Structure 1
């Protein structure tokens, strides 16, 4: 079980100067399950977000320099978990590629991302590597609504089990470095991996390109939410000594 989740925040605030928001994602916090306790700490990414995009601490965690501990899952995360009593709960879990019997909140949040239409936060799991450096992670395809009409049509033809091409993009206007997912039978770009995975997935591309695999794990048709349409399972390998998510933005501000 993954015992660490990260919290990302997106800059959507209109600037006083009239400039639009950058829509850049920042890793601002880390949630750990430690025994019977849940522990939340802000990361260095929160300082970057404050300096570059005016990020303000969340109401639930007002102090950037404090370690928050609770025996219950903090509401900012708990409220992002689907209620098992919902009539559509079985269909929702199927859409996520999870069993109805899954009760671990970290496992659910790791796939759903905990996204809500009312805010600009997203949850994602820490990449866990095996002793040989291999890893597997799942995420929903990002940015597919902004690709070309031809790509939109090709997306509608995808089937579960299809293997997608993976390409490194060095000049993405929003993030610089980006990971593209392309159609299996062409170089037609269908969307992107989440920004906060870019560096680790890029390292995997350089470390062991032959080990890369991006597979369509689940296709969800409308009226499923647009951010849960195409579930991707990504496999790769980092060097034996390489630890994922070790950049400064992932480091807690307090011990």
Structure 2
């Protein structure tokens, strides 16, 4: 879990349709009660087209509730669904826990560009994260159209990390390389700062291809599992 100062954190990510850039627009915390506040890059996101959530119109207010906010629980599968046990098993949950389901599923919907991610806040614990590699369409040789022509990558392949501090868009950018040293893509922006800090601390980080799905769109064809050992 991403716990800091006694609170369990989730970050809300928004992706711009215009620039395809991902922004950390808010944080949801749990500690007896739930709190949501905007932060991170929300004002830059607003400049790029983000609109505040209808239930949370004030960018500067801290919203509190004894229950997980309905606007977020509505993104989750109904606990009365016939196949809810299969869904819970998929996310390694023994029982229905809306906050943990939000954390592990991301609660993405096809109607918007929002998702939740489990941030990297504690650099002294073992960490495992599973996520989509960013920017792959620019490096796999497929031009975002011809999946059959893409670089051959299979589940289980080890991939390697390399910082790119002179990146003009993100000073914390971290590349993924294959065994030959070819760039495949990047750590998503919302994890780049945390991963950069782990690399600076010389933590043992191993990354492998978790899934390859050429039927997905180009932003979701390579899923990576990253494990950090202390």
Deviation for aligned residue 1:61: 0.6
Please tell me whether residue 197 in structure 1 is matched to residue 195 in structure 2. Answer: no
Query: Does the CA-based 8 Å contact 2:68-2:99 persist in structure 1?
Result: no
Query: Does the CA-based 8 Å contact 1:26-1:49 persist in structure 2?
Result: yes
Query: Does the CA-based 8 Å contact 2:121-2:194 persist in structure 1?
Result: no
Q: Aligned partners of 2:105, 2:212: CA distance in 1, in Å?
A: 13
Unaligned runs of 5+ in 2: 3-7, 143-148
Partner residue of 1:234? 226
Q: Aligned partners of 1:144, 1:189: CA distance in 2, in Å?
A: 9
Please tell me whether residue 46 in structure 1 is matched to residue 42 in structure 2. Answer: yes
Alignment root-mean-square deviation, CA:
3.3
Tell me, what secondary structure is at the counterpart of 1:149? coil
After TM superposition, list the pairs within 5 Å mapping 1:183-194 onto structure 2.
183=178, 185-194=179-188
Partner residue of 2:27? 30
More relative contact order, 1 or 2 (CA 8 Å, 6+ apart): 1
Tell me, what secondary structure is at the counterpart of 2:120? coil
Q: Aligned partners of 2:134, 2:84: CA distance in 1, in Å?
A: 24
Please tell me whether residue 215 in structure 1 is matched to residue 208 in structure 2. Answer: yes
TM-score where L is the length of structure 1: 0.69
Count, aligned residues: 218
Deviation for aligned residue 1:74: 1.8
Cα offsets for 1:214-251 (capped at 9, x unmatched):
133x326466776655442323479xxxxxxxxxxxxx
TM-score where L is the length of structure 2: 0.76
Query: After the TM superposition, which of the residue ranges 99-108 and 56-65 deviates more from structure 2?
Result: 99-108
Tell me, what secondary structure is at the counterpart of 2:131? strand
Cα offsets for 1:52-75 (capped at 9, x unmatched):
425332112111122212233223
Q: Aligned partners of 2:63, 2:169: CA distance in 1, in Å?
A: 32
Deviation for aligned residue 1:208: 0.2
Tell me, what secondary structure is at the counterpart of 1:90? helix
Cα separation, partners in 2 of 1:152 and 1:71, compared to 1, 3 Å: farther
Cα separation, partners in 2 of 1:23 and 1:171, compared to 1, 3 Å: farther
Please tell me whether residue 99 in structure 1 is matched to residue 92 in structure 2. Answer: yes
